[in-house]
Amino acid sequence: MRGVRHHRTTRTAGLAAVAAAALALAACSSGDSSAPSSTPAAASSSTSAAAASETPSASPTVDTGIPAGASPFSGRAGGAGKRVLVVKYDNTLNAQPQTGLKDADIVYIEEVEYGLTRIAAVFSTKLPPVVGPVRSARISDIDLLAQFGKPAFAYSGSQHRLRPVLARASIYDVSGDMGPAGYFRDLHRPAPYNFMGKPAELMKRAPHASVARDIGFVFAVPTPSGGVKVHSAKVPYPASSAQFVWDSAAKSFDVSMNGRPARATEGGIQHATTVVLQFVKQRDSGYHDKFGGRTPLLTTTGTGKAWVLRDGRAYLATWSRPVATGGTTFTDKAGNVIDFAPGQVWVALVNRSAKVTFG
């Protein structure tokens, strides 16, 4: 599978092209909805000029450092061929600390009603004993999950108009709406932030759930050439925020949500090895909650701009996902796929009108 290549051909793209792309994005007019309010510092002119003047050499085959049998979702060892479980998490301050999230292969951040966010966590390589707090599904989940084939989908419930749509979706519905098996209430948490799941029991309800497959991600241990140095990235949502701060010692990004470190029940905070800031079209879905809050629809098919962050560097990318049943590729200006670092991937789905701030 493309996502778990053990060897690849070395790319010789110069730093100048990437730095120029970053500067071009920053220079876009305010009408360019994917332009962040601040961009990482570009490479020095001397370095860029030297890179640009180099004559491309032969392209040797190099080891990506990814072991055979690694997950196509995260590059983690032993993840190939395992069934997929997607869990909807609450993502407000009341949900802290979140349980089991550290074991997810992919963590998606989605905007919901009132400008708040929820998380869709994709588990395959490792199932934690407990996950949660588990919350309800949204219309945007349907297209997002289609790329995984027919995964098990764990959520607390949904509004009544969405239920028939979910019933037609390519999922194994292991929600609370479909039965209590695998769920419990954590009496140490306040309701409704105490609805928890046991993945091993939930997966018994979906014995034929799809196994992990190529969704367009490509992993390699070596840091890609190009990019620009970055220390932090902050994503604003109308009533929430996500921030990722590079920790060079841990070789990962520390995650903060809603202005505070994203705590884990298992101890410490959440970390991301690769962060993707994916700018998407967003509009009213026609759905709303019982209080009248409008549900946005996030379009994750088509194409758009993105930033890929890894190893303390940011790479300007174009994302492409022609159909819902296919995966998403992230390529640089030259059309080369950008390698992700092996480990947990966080994908922030960002309204293309939002302004991301880099530090």
pLDDT at 17 over 80: no
**CA dihedral sign of residues 90, 95, 96, 99:** negative
User: Which residue, 62, 114, 72, is CA-closest to 92?
Assistant: 114
Per-residue pLDDT band for 232 (boundaries 50, 70, 90) equals: very high
Instruction: Supply the pLDDT for residue 289.
Output: 82
Cα–Cα distance measured from residue 127 to residue 104, given in angstroms and rounded to the nearest whole number: 8
In angstroms, the Cα distances linking 188 to 179, 242, 268, 317 are: 23, 26, 19, 43
50-109 pLDDT, tens digit per residue, is 222 333 334 455 579 999 999 999 999 999 999 999 999 999 999 999 999 999 999 999
- Let me know the angle formed at the C-alpha of 309 by 304 and 313, rounded to the nearest 5 degrees: 125
Per-residue pLDDT band for 160 (boundaries 50, 70, 90) equals: confident
Structure tokens at 10: 């070395």
* DSSP, res 66: P
245-282 pLDDT, tens digit per residue, is 999 999 999 999 999 999 999 999 999 999 999 999 99
If residue 202 lies in a helix (H) or strand (E), which one and from where to where?
helix 199-204
41-62 pLDDT, tens digit per residue, is 433 222 222 222 333 334 455 5
Cα–Cα distance measured from residue 267 to residue 264, given in angstroms and rounded to the nearest whole number: 5
Structure tokens at 220: 């390699």
- Let me know the angle formed at the C-alpha of 286 by 282 and 287, rounded to the nearest 5 degrees: 100
Q: Which residues contact 241 (CB under 8 A, 6 or more apart)?
A: 234, 235, 256, 257, 258, 259
DSSP string computed for 278-342: EEEEEEEEEEE-TT-PEEEEEE-SEEEEEEEEETTEEEEEEEEESSTTS--EEE-TTSPBPPBPS
Structure tokens at 271: 């970390």
Q: Please name each of the domains of the chain with its CATH number.
A: 1-52+62-359 (3.50.90.10)
Alpha-carbon torsion angle 324, 239, 137, 327, nearest 10: 20
318 and 249 Cβ atoms separated by less than 8 Å: no
Cα–Cα distance measured from residue 106 to residue 124, given in angstroms and rounded to the nearest whole number: 9
What's the one-letter identity of residue 272?
A
Cα–Cα distance measured from residue 87 to residue 102, given in angstroms and rounded to the nearest whole number: 13
